[in-house]
Structure 1
Amino acid sequence: MTGEIAAGWAQDKGFKFMSFTVQGGGIEIKPRVPTCSAATKSLTVPLGDLSTTDVLYVGATTPAKSFSIVLNCSGGDTGTVTKTYMTLTDVSNKANRTDTLSLTPDSNAKGLGVQVLYNSTLVKFGPDSSATGNTNQFSTGSTGNGTLEIPLSARYIRTGSLSGGKANATASFTMSYQ
């Protein structure tokens, strides 16, 4: 960090008696734990075609298709770890806090949604935020330096009366390091 970091003044009984500027002379700020960046920036998970016999009733699901989000983590003090957390957000309906992802506006199929699972557990969607304790944020473990692979899967779920067509859904992920 270089340049002006802060400026201010002090006063007593309404009289300004001191002003100051804090200058950075090449201050290095180094995290004590590893930091991560997403190796997986974007991916498509093909769920395949289905027929009405694949999802006979509301709540029926198709077999889940596996995929992973990969993080590259480095830095920090030797032997330290970072606790990682993830929030998935429904891009088509940012207020969605359920476990069923909305279909995108260009989808013309009806009666379907998409569910995402982490370690075979349904994930609920939350706001796009890395804040500690974000709604529906879930732990994805701890990592030191190296690669962290977050195993996920996705599947269709029947949500109502079916009509054929394209059924796409989009989610974003936000990581939090705590």
Structure 2
Amino acid sequence: MTSITARGCNVTTPSVGVTLPSVSLSSPASTGAVAGNTPFSLGLNCSAGTLVNLTLTDATTPSNTSNVLTLGSGATASGVGTQIPNGMTPIVYGADSSAAGNNNQWFAGTANGGPMTLPLNVRYIRTANPITPGKVAGLATFTLSYQ
């Protein structure tokens, strides 16, 4: 008798709110500069050997394939956005799809079995001059793909 089992994960942090620190108008100092790096993580509980792939999607502008999250509902600032780097490299947004090889999908790791944490950061990025002070808000979703 042969047994077929599926590998996969359960999400243990389906919603993560991140509050970035307040920064001055001079930080980030120039277009493309970043400030206010703030850690957060996504939690999973996975079967051993699961190859976990992830796509982040800009919930405000789902067609966004840049590395800057669109300012969302309630945002009043301008000239600034947010990025979510994986290590030192900003994640590029892609379509909300679990298909293998989805545009801008990235390999998050191989599960050992049990709890798995995907550590990430969010930060401000200056996108234009001048910056208009105000509230910065954005919303991204994540889609997992097991391969």
TM-score > 0.5 by shorter chain: yes
Give 1:30 shift: 4.9
Equivalent-residue separation in structure 2 for 1:63 and 1:50 (angstroms): 7
Cross-structure match for 2:90: 122
Give 1:120 shift: 2.4
Give 1:56 shift: 1.8
Q: How many residues align?
A: 144
SS at match of 2:72: coil
Equivalent-residue separation in structure 1 for 2:16 and 2:137 (angstroms): 13
Identify, as 1 or 2, the structure richer in strand: 1
Could you tell me which runs of 5 or more consecutive residues in structure 1 were left unpaired when the two chains were aligned.
1-28, 75-79
Equivalent-residue separation in structure 2 for 1:46 and 1:106 (angstroms): 14
Could you tell me which runs of 5 or more consecutive residues in structure 2 were left unpaired when the two chains were aligned.
none
TM-score after normalising by structure 1: 0.77
Q: Which structure 2 residues correspond to residues 1-178 of structure 1 after superposition, within 5 A?
A: 30-32=4-6, 34-74=7-47, 81-160=49-128, 161-178=130-147
* Alignment root-mean-square deviation, CA: 1.4
The structure, 1 or 2, with the larger RCO (C-alpha pairs under 8 Å, 6+ apart) is: 2
SS at match of 1:54: coil
Letter in 2 for 1:169: G
Equivalent-residue separation in structure 2 for 1:171 and 1:69 (angstroms): 12
1:48-69 Cα deviation digits (max 9, x unpaired): 1111121221111104111110
Letter in 2 for 1:54: S
Equivalent-residue separation in structure 2 for 1:85 and 1:35 (angstroms): 11
TM-score after normalising by structure 2: 0.92
Equivalent-residue separation in structure 2 for 1:41 and 1:129 (angstroms): 17
